Amino acid sequence: MPGPIQSLARAAAILRLLAGGERRLGLSDISSSLGLAKGTAHGILRTLQQEGFVEQDAASGKYQLGAELLRLGNSYLDVHELRARALVWTDDLARSSGEAVYLGVLHQSGVLIVHHVFRPDDSRQVLEVGAMQPLHSSALGKVLAAYDPVAHSEAAENERLALTPRTITDTAGFEDVLELARTRGWASDLEETWEGVASVAAPILDRRRMPVGAVGITGAVERVCQEDGDIQARLVAAVRDCARAVSRDLGAGRF
């Protein structure tokens, strides 16, 4: 096993120094406290600054801890925050698509539904918040497995049950489906989870473009699909618009 990497150890020492007592320190304070040559300390600080771990005050030239460190500590997005941000957009998706909207996140080895908007037709419907959907066959699950490495290993390593005759269960076929989802930016479920039901979903990304969930619509295959059996293009567009709008609200750049 190789020994510790000197520059990383020095970078850690600088971060600890900046985290202690006085918040802002100049280059000479830092180099003298740690017994480093000014040039060495400056090189490390510049790298830390590029990564966002350290910020330099424009006026005084002094250094302080950067915002990226805070984000590292708080990277977990609360699902209720996600629902609050998604509320307006998912309502609009239900209205424009005429179908029920679901928002899901990875939970253990499945998709946990954290938000559900009824199909806007005044029929009797039951709120499905808290329900689970399968990771390998639902549109939400495929999107998560395609974009989130943790979801991918859950889906790849667990048994993929044949829920309908159309469920894709073999490894190569499943990986092809995920590859297609990544290429297109969305995934579908054509009677692969429930007979007669089709879904389409797209990923929600946060400001670091990490997948935090998926949003999609679900409805009768006769309404959701066109003649050739594929999902209607206007529904795909509506779902992707919604996913982009929620992602933008979470701080993701345009994509």
Partner 1 sequence: MTDAHTAGPFIAAIDQGTTSSRCIVFDRDGRIVSVDQKEHEQIFPKPSWVEHDAAEIWTNVQEVVASAVEKAGITAEDVKAIGITNQRETTLLWDKNTGEPVHNALVWQDTRTDALCRELGRNVGQDRFRRETGLPLASYFAGPKARWLLDNVEGLRERADRGEILFGTMDSWVIWNLTGGPDGGVHVTDVTNASRTMLMNLHTLEWDEKICESIGVPMSMLPEIRSSSEVYGTAAVGVLAGVPVASALGDQQAALFGQTCFAEGEAKSTYGTGTFLLMNTGEKAVNSYNGLLTTVGYRIGDQKAVYALEGSIAVTGSLVQWMRDQMGIIKSAAEIETLASSVDDNGGAYFVPAFSGLFAPYWRDDARGVIAGLTRYVTKAHLARAVLEATAWQTREIVDAMSKDSGVELAAVKVDGGMTSNNLLMQTIADFVDAPVVRPMVAETTCLGAAYAAGLAVGFWPDTDALRANWRRAAEWTPRMDADKRDREYKNWLKAVERTMGWIEEEN
Q: By CB under 8 A, tell whether 22 contacts partner 1.
A: no
Q: By CB under 8 A, tell whether 8 contacts partner 1.
A: no
Q: By CB under 8 A, tell whether 129 contacts partner 1.
A: yes
Q: By CB under 8 A, tell whether 80 contacts partner 1.
A: yes
Positions in 215-234 near partner 1 (CB under 8 A): 234
What is the CA angle 105-117-83, rounded to 5?
45
Q: How far apart are CA 50 and CA 55, in angstroms?
A: 9
Answer whether 216's CB lies under 8 Å from 238's CB.
Answer: no
DSSP structure class, residue 121: S
Q: By CB under 8 A, tell whether 178 contacts partner 1.
A: no
* Site of tokens 């999902």: 231
Cα-trace Rg, the chain: 24
Question: What three-state secondary structure class fits 51?
Answer: coil
Which region, judged by CB under 8 A, interacts with partner 1, from 63-71, 113-121, 162-170, 198-206? 113-121
Question: In the complex with partner 1, which residue's Cβ is closer, 78 or 170?
Answer: 78
* Minimum separation from the CB atom of position 125 to partner 1 (A): 7
Give the one residue of 92, 175, 206, 230 binding partner 1; rule: CB under 8 A: 92
* Minimum separation from the CB atom of position 120 to partner 1 (A): 4
Q: By CB under 8 A, tell whether 127 contacts partner 1.
A: yes
Task: Name the residue type at position 188.
Answer: S
Which region, judged by CB under 8 A, interacts with partner 1, from 30-38, 167-175, 202-210, 235-243? 235-243
Query: CA dihedral in degrees (204, 239, 167, 223; nearest 10)?
Result: 160
Answer whether 214's CB lies under 8 Å from 186's CB.
Answer: no
* Minimum separation from the CB atom of position 210 to partner 1 (A): 18
Positive or negative, the CA dihedral 163, 222, 111, 146 is positive
Rule CB under 8 A: which residues touch partner 1? Answer: 74, 78-81, 83-84, 87-88, 91-92, 94-96, 115-118, 120, 122, 125, 127, 129, 234, 237-238, 241
